[in-house]
Structure 1
Amino acid sequence: MDPRSALWPAAALTFNAFVWGVSWWPFRRLDALGLHPLWATVVIYALAVVVLVAARPGVWREVLCHRGLWVLVLASGTTNAAFNWAVTIGDVVRVVLLFYLMPLWAVLLARPLLGERLHRGAAARVGLSLAGAIVVLWPADGGWPLPRTLAEALGLLGGVTFALNNVMLRREAQRSEAARAAAMFAGGALVAGVLALVLTSVGRVGAPPPPAPGWTLGVLAMGVAFLASNLALQYGAARLPAHATAVIMLTEVVFASVSAVALGAGAPTLQALAGGALIVAAAAMAALARAPAR
C-alpha cells in the first residue's frame, strides 16, 4: 500500500484509540455531576442507536433474524458497561492493562467459536499475557494475584467480553456493517441499562439527576465523540490490513496511561510497567501474527 494512501486511515484509527484512551476523564466528570457511568453509557449509546435507526430504519430486521448478532449485543454491551465503570472508579493504568489481556481470551474463545487451533505462536501469546497479568495483580503484601477491587474485576471482565465481541465480529463477517454496528450500539444501551436499573433499585447506584446543562451537554458531546470514533474505526479498518489496524489500536494503552498519570488517575509503578510490557507485547504479537510474509 502507498504510504500516502495509508495516512488518513491510520489517522482515523489513532483518533478512535485516542477517544477510548481518554474517555475515562469525561466519565469521571459526569460521575462527579451525579451521573453514574452506567447511566451515562445508556444515554450515549441510546443516542447512537437513534442516529443509526434514522439512517438505516430496516437494520433491526437483520439483527433479529441472526442469533450470532444477539451474542454480539451481549458481548459489546458488557464490554462497554464494564470498561466505562472500571475506568471511572479505579486506577486507569491497571484497568486498561487488565482489559488488554484480550488476546489471551481471544485465543481461548477462537477454538470453540471459530475452530482455530492453538498453535505455538498463540500459546506463546497466552503465556506472555498470563505472566503480565500475574505481575500486574501480584499484591505487595503477598497472597494470590487476583483482582482486589471492583475496578480490576470489571477490567478483566471487559477484556473477556471484548475478546468475545471481536471473535463474534469475525464469525458474523457476512452480516452487513450496519447490522453489526446496530447490535453493538444496542448492546451498549441495553446491558448497561438493565444493570443500572437493577443496581439503582437496590440502592447501589444513584438514579440519574434531573436534566442540567452540565451533564446533558457532556453526554451529548461524548455521544458525538463515540459515534465519530466508531465511524473512524470502520473507515480505517476497511482500508488497512488487519495486523496494521490491531497495532495502531494498541496506542489506546499509551493514551490512557499517559493521560491518567498526568492527571493523577493512575500510578506508573515499576510493577505495572513490567506487567504492562508483557501484556502489550502479547497483544502486539497477536496483531503481527496476521502480517503477510515479505
Structure 2
Amino acid sequence: MAERVGPWPALALVFNAFVWGLSWWPFRELQSQGLHPLWSTALIYLVSLACLLAVRPGAVRGWWQSPWLWLLAAAAGMTNVGFNWAVTIGDVVRVVLLFYLMPAWSVLLAWLLLDEKPHATALARVALALVGVAIVLDGGAMGWPWPQGLADWLALAGGFSFALTNALLRKLQATPPESRVLAMFGGGAALAGTVATWGLAQGTIPGLPALQASWLGVGLALSAAFLVGNLALQYGAARLAAHTTALVMLSEVVFASLSSVALGAAELSPRVLAGGALIVAAAAWSAWPEPRVATSGRTMET
C-alpha cells in the first residue's frame, strides 16, 4: 500500500512558490533604499551560505568531487542574477512568463548533457512555448518579436540558466546534497557580487549604500524567506512525484501576476495574457507524466 503523504509536502511547495512569486517586492523596496538587486542577491546568498556552513561545515569537502559543481555554481548564480534583477526593473508578469520558457530550454539541455533525445511530444511543447514567447514579445509594428530591453534579456537568460541548473542537478545525483547546495548558494553570492563589482567599476552599478537598519531588516527577512523556502522545496520535492512538484510550482506565476498587478508593477494586456497562456500550458504539459519517460520538475531553487 502506498504511503499517504498528506497535504504538507504540497503546501511546502506552495510556500516556496509564494516566496519566489512575491520576491519582486522586497527587491524593489531594497532598490528604492539604494541597494541594487545585484548587491541584494550577493548579500542574501552570503547569509544563506554562512548558515549552511555553520550547520554543515563538511559541505566544503565534497566541493572538489566533480568539476560539474563549478558549472552548477555558475548556472545557479546566473539564474538568480537574471531573475532578481529582471523583476526589479521590468514588468513582473512579462519577466516571469519569459523566465518560464525554461521547459523549452530543458529539452535541449537534456539532449546535450543527459543524452535524452527529444521525442515528438517534447518538440511540440517547445513549439508551443516559443509561440507564446513570440506573442509576449510582439511589439506590434516593431517587426520581428525580439527582447525589448535589459529585463527581457535577463529573464530569458535566467530561465535558460534555471533549466541548466535542473539538468546539472540530475547529472549530479550521486553528489552529496550539501555540496550541491553549497555550489548553488556560493554561485548566487559570487556571480552577483562579481557582476556588481564590474558594474561599479564601469559606472553602471551604484556602490553599496551606508548601512541602515531599514534595508538591513528587509534584506535579512528576505534571506530568511529564501532559506526557509528552499528547505520547504526540499521537503516537498522529496515526497512528491517530479511532475506533481512542477505543476504545483507553476503557482509562482499566479502569485507573481496577482501581486504585481495589484501593486501596479505589471500590466495584463490581451497579448500578454494570450502568450502567457501558451507558455504556462507548455510548462504544465512538460510536467505531465508520460509513459516510459521520466519527467523532471523544479528540483531546487535559490
- CA gap 1:117/1:292 in 2 versus in 1, 3 angstroms: closer
**Separation of aligned partners in 2, 1:291 and 1:31:** 47
**Separation of aligned partners in 2, 1:261 and 1:147:** 21
TM-score by length of 1: 0.97
> Would you say 1:225 and 2:225 are equivalent positions?
yes
Q: What is residue 207 of structure 2 aligned with on the other side?
A: 207
The alignment of Structure 1 onto Structure 2 pairs a total of residues equal to: 293
CA deviations 1:160-216 (Å, max 9, x no partner) are: 000000000111011121111111111110000100000011110110101100111
Residues 13 and 233 of structure 2 are in contact (CA less than 8 Å); yes or no, is this contact kept in structure 1?
yes
Q: CA deviation at 1:5?
A: 2.3
Residues 6 and 240 of structure 1 are in contact (CA less than 8 Å); yes or no, is this contact kept in structure 2?
no
- CA gap 1:291/1:42 in 2 versus in 1, 3 angstroms: farther
Q: What is residue 48 of structure 2 aligned with on the other side?
A: 48
AA at the equivalent of 1:145: P
Q: What is residue 30 of structure 2 aligned with on the other side?
A: 30
TM-score by length of 2: 0.94
Cα RMSD, aligned residues only: 1.5
AA at the equivalent of 2:243: H
CA deviations 1:51-104 (Å, max 9, x no partner) are: 000111121121223111111100000000110000000000000000000000
Residues 79 and 159 of structure 2 are in contact (CA less than 8 Å); yes or no, is this contact kept in structure 1?
yes
Q: CA deviation at 1:290?
A: 4.7
Q: What is residue 163 of structure 1 aligned with on the other side?
A: 163
AA at the equivalent of 1:204: T
CA deviations 1:9-41 (Å, max 9, x no partner) are: 000000000000000000000000000000000
AA at the equivalent of 1:198: W
How does 1:276-287 map onto structure 2 within 5 Å?
A: 276-287=276-287
How does 1:31-180 map onto structure 2 within 5 Å?
A: 31-180=31-180
- CA gap 1:81/1:116 in 2 versus in 1, 3 angstroms: same
Residues 136 and 276 of structure 1 are in contact (CA less than 8 Å); yes or no, is this contact kept in structure 2?
yes
CA deviations 1:92-141 (Å, max 9, x no partner) are: 00000000000000001110100001101101111101100100001122
Residues 65 and 175 of structure 2 are in contact (CA less than 8 Å); yes or no, is this contact kept in structure 1?
no
Same amino acid, percent of matched pairs: 54
Q: CA deviation at 1:291?
A: 7.4
Q: CA deviation at 1:142?
A: 2.8
Q: What is residue 189 of structure 1 aligned with on the other side?
A: 189
Consecutive unaligned residues of structure 2, counting only runs of 5 or more, are 294-302
**Separation of aligned partners in 2, 1:71 and 1:275:** 32
